A and B are shown apart, each in its own frame.
Chain A
């Protein structure tokens, strides 16, 4: 499984969401609230073996923005 697939699955599992995760932004669905956000951040850290900075956690407001943030941690996404 490549990182793009893994990233999508983490969104789906963290929010129990079967829709189009690529369009998701914070609070667009009830499951992505402050608690869901922490669950997603923990899942990303565990899955990619990274530790996110506070500023990046606060900045992580959409699926697309997350890709840019994770690239700072050398998590590369396939086109």
Chain B
């Protein structure tokens, strides 16, 4: 395996289960599985949400910016061979900050760091930029249910 890894859209879809119209990262690069990943998302006016958000002032909704961050973040561990293609769930999102509007024509650059991956629970953070300008950032805790389920107690109620 030649590090760091890079993924085009086909490679991204092989690693994670998000699909159009809810896949918000176009290319992933500088990936060290178990450590970090970077992503690019190019927003054009053809995106389905721009006419609705808003017709007189198109900009990327906050939840989609957060999705771009987390979809890059999950590549930091779903790029591991034994986790590729597994579904993920949010456990928590903290410290979300939005610094600027993302407009049609903007390219979002995302840098994600995996702090820990322990028994199906990933903890980390991601920050994004348009050019050099900070755009948004957040801390994440994400579960991989397939892995988590392997450690569930057999006893209990």
A: residues with CB less than 8 A from B are 25-28, 32, 34-35, 37-39, 41-42, 54, 57-62, 65
- Interface residue count on the B side (C-beta < 8 Å): 16
B88–chain A nearest beta-carbon distance, Å: 13
Contact B154 A42, beta carbon cutoff 8 Å:
no
A54–chain B nearest beta-carbon distance, Å: 7
| 22 pairs, CB–CB < 8 Å, chain A vs chain B | A25-B156, A26-B156, A28-B156, A28-B157, A32-B156, A34-B149, A34-B152, A35-B121, A35-B143, A38-B119, A38-B121, A38-B148, A38-B151, A41-B151, A42-B121, A54-B150, A54-B151, A58-B152, A61-B154, A61-B155, A61-B156, A62-B156
A58 to B152 CA separation, bound complex (whole angstroms)? 6
Residue of A nearest to B148 (CB): A34
B122–chain A nearest beta-carbon distance, Å: 11
